[in-house]
Amino acid sequence: MLRGRVIGNIWASKRLDEVPNGAFLEVEVEPGGARLIAFDVLGSGVGEHVLVATGSVAAAWFPGQAPPIDALIIGSIDESSSGF
Amino acid sequence: MLRGRVIGNIWASKRLDEVPNGAFLEVEVEPGGARLIAFDVLGSGVGEHVLVATGSVAAAWFPGQAPPIDALIIGSIDESSSGF
Amino acid sequence: MLRGRVIGNIWASKRLDEVPNGAFLEVEVEPGGARLIAFDVLGSGVGEHVLVATGSVAAAWFPGQAPPIDALIIGSIDESSSGF
Amino acid sequence: MLRGRVIGNIWASKRLDEVPNGAFLEVEVEPGGARLIAFDVLGSGVGEHVLVATGSVAAAWFPGQAPPIDALIIGSIDESSSGF
Amino acid sequence: MLRGRVIGNIWASKRLDEVPNGAFLEVEVEPGGARLIAFDVLGSGVGEHVLVATGSVAAAWFPGQAPPIDALIIGSIDESSSGF
């Protein structure tokens, strides 16, 4: 998984029908600063530190037919022994 | 997912039979500037900001036998709270 | 696989229900210094050199329904002929 | 997908039995210059601009049991609106 | 696939039960110098130039239940038209 900080939201009204409803959050990977867009169902907010799973395991989390989603926020980080 | 901007089209007439008909668009990842070629069925145009899913989830989106496609435009970005 | 050194722990109490119980360890890839968070069931400790498998093979290791886990510590490195 | 230019051939006579017969071509990704080895069944030649699919979608293209192949040339690029 | 040169061995006696017996070799990707650990059943030795498949296709090569292995040496490179 990657750890990162939520830095914003993305809105996409024109989209494939199979894209689930929910939040698309922009996450800055820490450390390093790379960015990705992750799907969120935990209600994560800007500034929150999160854990992101990427690849087909993100799609496989959804019940039923796997949607074309390759990054999913799986948790919110409370604490990290190595700091943020 | 990655967010990026469509910067051009690719044409490939000699191709595997299993490659679906549709647009192959060159996308520049933002920020960063990396480039990839994504399959598009949304009619995305040059300059449009898009959301791209990569890996096997892109292939799994297609009905029937999964084609050898590893990047799919899943939406067009209307707005982003962190800017473009 | 990647080899790396465990540098810390991550705690995430708000998480998806499908995330298994166990340790989330921060691993610094060697050489290079990239970082990732890997799931651990071997009781690996800070400073330990480990082997990490990434992607869907990590999720497929779990019995039953594959969880949204994309990195798994598969072994602890005793020795390496090229040093650490 | 990645776009690149074929820069050479690789020969590997000692190989796993499950590796299919065919050409292994070295491809330089454009732009960027990263390199990878892709399996080719299109008869691509040195200097040709090609489209490469990577990951499990490459293996899934093969009929029957998927071979340990993670990069496949899926088309030859005729033209690109953003140049080569 | 990636091409690289075997630069050493890794030993991991504490490991998941599902990790197969065999050699874990450290491979330096050429060109570039990135490193990864690949599973080997071809008896590859230090200094040998090899072809490595990564991701779930590596695990899928194993008969029966796929192990948590994400990199597999699929061949030994005899010759390369672009040199080593």
Q: Where are the domains of chain A?
A: 2-76
D80 closest CB neighbour out of B8, B59, B70: B8
Name the neighbours of C, counting chains with at least 3 Cβ pairs within 8 A.
A, E
- Nearest CB neighbour to D55, from listed E31, E55, E82: E55
Q: State CA E80 to chain mean position distance.
A: 19
Residues of chain D in Cβ contact (below 8 Å) with chain B: 1-3, 31-32, 41-42, 51, 53-58, 60-61, 72, 74-82
Pick the residue from chain E with its C-alpha nearest to D19: E74
**Average pLDDT, integer, range C41-64:** 97
Instruction: Say yes or no to pLDDT of D18 above 80.
Output: yes
- pLDDT at residue A83 tops 80: no
* Under-50 pLDDT residues of chain B: none
**How much is the average pLDDT of D53-74?**
97
CATH assignment, D2-13+22-76: 2.40.50.220
- Decide: E32 and E17 in contact? Cβ < 8 Å: no
Question: Per-residue b/e over D10-31, b at no fewer than 16 CB within 10 Å?
Answer: bebeebbeebeeebbbbbbbbe
Select from 3.30.450.20, 2.40.50.220, 1.20.1560.10, 3.40.30.10 the CATH code of C2-76: 2.40.50.220
Please report the pLDDT score of residue E84 as a whole number. 62
Q: What is the pLDDT of residue B25?
A: 98
Interface pTM, i.e. ipTM: 0.96
Which residues have CB under 8 Å from B21's CB, separation 6+?
A: none
The distance of D20 to chain B (nearest Cα, Å) reads: 17
CATH fold, domain E2-14+21-76, is OB fold (Dihydrolipoamide Acetyltransferase, E2P) (2.40.50)
Region C55-72: mean pLDDT is 97
Q: Which of E66, E55, B52, E24 is nearest to C55 (CA)?
A: E55
Q: Which residues of chain E make contact with D69, given a CB cutoff of 8 A?
A: 1, 53, 57, 74
The pTM of the full predicted model, rounded to 2 decimals, is: 0.96
User: Is residue D73 helix, strand or coil?
Assistant: strand
What pLDDT is attached to residue D81?
82
Range with lowest mean pLDDT among B16-20, B33-37, D78-82, E79-83? E79-83
**Mean of all residue pLDDT scores within chain E:** 95
> Chains that contact B by 3+ CB pairs under 8 Å?
A, D
For A58, which DSSP code? H
pLDDT per residue over A19-73, tens digit each?
Answer: 999 999 999 999 999 999 999 999 999 999 999 999 999 999 999 999 999 999 9
| DSSP, res B61 | T
